[in-house]
């Protein structure tokens, strides 16, 4: 019951300020094999690649000061099952809202960090994950969005 309460607390957590500190919870789905994810850093290149490969785009909006963004990167996005999904089924792109991702974050109305968007190859939003989510919930949400596309 404690694990369920802790997981419920983590779902949807986002950075409102640089002082936010995450709780310590075991969040790994699997780490049995190493999967390398090729993250795009340029949105137009990601869209072009998505169109040529016929895949949706997964955009991870983050900031360097965001504790929950770092947690998402160090746990959820590095989980073997999540990494496999990112490598096989989407074109993943990381965008810093204080750099190259500023204009796009305004365009897509990103109002908290981290925010992950799933876009079709034309850039239309299919789904959104606002805030931090551990690997299991993240996989379920992304899979659901991918079924819609």
Single out the catalytic residue among 47, 58, 63, 66: 66
Single out the catalytic residue among 59, 69, 77, 118: 69
Which residues, including other chains, have CB under 8 Å from residue 4's CB and lie 6 or more apart? none
Q: Is 15 a catalytic residue?
A: no
CA angle, residues 24, 41, 73, in degrees to nearest 5? 5
* Residue 110, token pair as written in the block: 């990103």
Catalytic residues: 66, 69
């Amino acid at each position: 019951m404690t694990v369920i309460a802790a997981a419920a607390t983590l779902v949807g957590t986002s950075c409102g300020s640089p002082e936010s500190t995450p709780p310590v919870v075991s969040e790994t789905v699997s780490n049995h094999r190493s999967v390398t994810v090729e993250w795009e850093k340029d949105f137009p290149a990601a869209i072009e690649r998505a169109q040529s490969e016929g895949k949706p785009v997964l955009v991870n909006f983050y900031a360097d000061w965001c504790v929950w963004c770092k947690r998402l990167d160090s746990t959820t996005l590095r989980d073997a099952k999540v990494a496999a999904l990112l490598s096989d089924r989407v074109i993943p792109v990381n965008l810093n809202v204080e750099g190259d991702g500023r204009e796009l974050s305004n365009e897509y109305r990103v109002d908290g960090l981290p925010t992950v968007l799933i876009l079709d190859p034309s850039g239309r939003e299919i789904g959104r994950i606002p805030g931090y989510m551990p690997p299991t919930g993240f996989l379920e949400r992304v899979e659901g969005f991918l079924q819609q596309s």
